[in-house]
Amino acid sequence: MGGEAFHQRDSLILAVSGTTCRCSESERHALTPASFRCVLDHVSIPVRDVEASAHFYLDVFAALGLREALRYERDGLPVVGLSGPDGFPHFWLGTATGAPLDEVHVAFTAADRPSVDRVHAAAIAAHAEILHLPRLWPEYHPTYYAVFLRDLDGNNVEAVCHV
């Protein structure tokens, strides 16, 4: 979850870069990206067409350094692991084999605001549905800059910069 805010009684649960923090409304504005350490190792999402989805993510998120890190077959179906600049496959695509998919939200970290803007431009070029244009989201924190779009399976995908 990349920066969603969930109200629960008198506190705010803020999920940023894979870390959940319970804080008051006033404390949330003091949060910085350095305040968080990601506890997620990897995320896997089911998709209808692994090859098409891998191409979509690699094209749209190229500005963030996303690349294919690993590929294998499971039960004769492709599985693709994508990585950022560190080369570790944190994001996995596998073939959906069950009932219709529910929406998943995934946020990819961008180094800076121009990178978010380049993701936006690549999403338009890929004919992706833009859910929210790139802008500041001060309700998450003062420097939260993001674009939100739909992938080929209808998932809510985001590129976010925290500076």
Quick one: pLDDT at residue 35?
Answer: 53
Domain ranges of the chain: 5-161
Tens of pLDDT, residue by residue over 72-105, are: 999 999 999 999 999 999 999 999 988 767 889 9
State yes or no: pLDDT of 17 exceeds 70. no
What pTM was computed for the model? Answer: 0.76
Which segment of 16-30, 35-49, 116-130 scores lowest on mean pLDDT?
16-30
In DSSP notation, the chain reads: --S-EEEETTEEEEEETTEEEEE-HHHHTT--GGG-------EEEEES-HHHHHHHHHHHTGGGT-EEEEEEEETTEEEEEEE-TT--EEEEEEE--SSPPPP-EEEEE-SSHHHHHHHHHHHHHTTPPEEEEEEE-TTT-TT-EEEEEE-TTS-EEEEEE--
- Averaged pLDDT for residues 144-154: 96
The CATH superfamily holding the domain 5-161 is 2,3-Dihydroxybiphenyl 1,2-Dioxygenase, domain 1 (3.10.180.10)
